[in-house]
Chains A and B, each alone.
Chain A
């Protein structure tokens, strides 16, 4: 299935070099979870703070649930307001 993965801020260094900007379209096996995606790109757990699926906050305990076709997964390190 096809999903979009976006890494922001300091996590951008984990994007493959060929990717321009923050987002990449990737093809993954059905049933792939957010945590598996993070492992695939070797993003260390301790650097991940905020994960969103289609713009909705995904708590730590829900990061093993399977993604679906067309989902957008976005990941940040620490974020703050202003």
Chain B
């Protein structure tokens, strides 16, 4: 058990809402959430479909451990075809929405078709209703959340919504739940808006009680929570500085992509770091960081809750931004800061608030602003294009202006909202888009951390750090230290991280547990909770199956091995400073071995043998 074994199918075209049983044969193979949601997408959609057309489907999927007592077991993923990459999209979010959906009795919601006018879905346990939402269209995520709570009159209702950016067609719009947790990447929010679906609200009071062996389960959960509490990273480091402790670390090792990856170290890194978030401001004596925060069932609590200085130019006379809200994580701080050269913590926090308020992925947004600044510096974009705004690197004003324009879908914001690939193509410098498969890089320069080059190139959803976080090994020494400047051995490291992460994402757990837990710590919890026998070997096999399924979908969507590539800047322009000085990313030294380890052809196609080994669908 632990799956509720029920799917909610919502046909937005004809307004029908129906319950159907979960395919348990597939659950046994693909676990849940990321894996199982992708299995349904593969079964039910044509991979060549228009990502923003009615034929694409949008799947909200929980994992079997979502909503249970396992630490961090509160997650859900949104799966669809991505409008940004043309590949499979799967974006994972924390907060409380996923656990609430599971407690309402649903493993998954599948949205299909397209509503004729704006609607929202409201779920109360087994009851689900499509409700007109013309009054919410044009509202921000925060306004939408408030209005739904006012309409439902239940403070415990959880809301996931899209903002104005998605309505305007920004290609990297996110789905935001609980005000500032995001299914952030690859434009899953854009797909939701394309279906005229503004929000999903859910209240679940059934709980997740169908545990296979409750006594063994609670014993295992307690033991593994102790492991998290006693680990220096998950017990002390993440609660204190959050992921933002990395800003200075990655800058020191010379792998902090700066000025659209022209440089690998940022002079202003310390000003936007986790340490800086703790410093008292001159104006009111308060630090940027108010407190840490946890998602459902989490005993780590890495989340950041921050304020902006009330006197800062970004929030002058805007009291709606004076309170506490979701603060900067490392990836957002890097994209909004180092990528653009802006080192003003308040401006970055403001841009982060607006990304939450109107539902944009701060990584793709910040990186695209960085690309626009690079184009501006070259004279390819001028103030005539922007309508007067000077887009020089390092300009706080430009960053704040861009985020407001993309949020509202106005003027030059429409162009930034296309993402860096389309922007750089339009302005004649396609090589300046720091992306893979059209999705922007996160915060690690592969010239300084070689394994991340292979991670980005082969990621099934375009450039992403969360598909195989080899930084853990190459920089942090978890589970063992490898040399970040070496390419040897990285193919196997990347594959191992990819497969394990796919299993973690499919169970409903947070990948941050892996700083303390391996699959050895997760398997006993999974096995005590769920039907069948769940060993580490079975989880790894399921993870590898999920990886191959995603790859297969992408190949059918028209991608090829040629898309497993990096921009020339990273392959030909050497790092200028730091330990990686003189180095480029040695992708060609790693990729052939990686394909071979995967059991794929030398040009990256999934072979018949591999398909048979994992029983992939035809």
Residue positions of A touching B, CB distance < 8 A: 6, 8-10, 12, 21-22, 49-50, 52, 54-57, 59, 72, 74, 76-82
Contacts and interface: CB of A to CB of B under 8 A. Distances in A.
Nearest to B469: A81
- Interface of B (DSSP majority class): helix
A46 to B, nearest CB: 9
A78 B233 CA distance: 6
Contacts of A8: 245, 248-249, 275
B275 A80 contact: no
- The residue among B243, B249, B302 with the most chain A CB atoms within 10 A of its own CB is B249
Given A12-B275, A49-B232, A55-B254, A79 B481 contact: no
Interface string B246-268: 10110011100000000000000
Interface size class of B (residues with CB under 8 A): 35 or more
Nearest to A57: B481
Nearest to A52: B252
Contact of B476 (A55, A56, A74, A79): A79
A55 B475 CA distance: 10
B245 A76 contact: yes
B527 to A, nearest CB: 27
Contact of A82 (B240, B270, B331): B331
- The residue among A10, A54, A72, A78 with the most chain B CB atoms within 10 A of its own CB is A78
Interface in B220-244: 232-234, 236-238, 240-244
B253 A52 contact: yes
Given A22-B275, A54-B579, A82 B330 contact: yes
A81 B515 contact: yes
B600 interface: no
A82 B252 contact: no
Contact of A80 (B243, B270, B481): B243
Interface in B479-499: 481, 484
B512 interface: yes
Contacts of B481: 57, 59
Contacts of A56: 253, 579
Given A55-B254, A57-B477, A82 B243 contact: yes
A55 to B, nearest CB: 4
A82 B302 contact: yes
- Give the 3 A-B residue pairs with the shortest CB-CB distance, closest first: A82-B243, A78-B232, A78-B237
B245 A80 contact: yes
Contact of B578 (A21, A55, A57): A55
Nearest to A54: B579
Nearest to A53: B579
Given A22-B270, A82-B246, A82-B512, A74 B252 contact: yes
A78 B477 CA distance: 11
Nearest to A23: B270
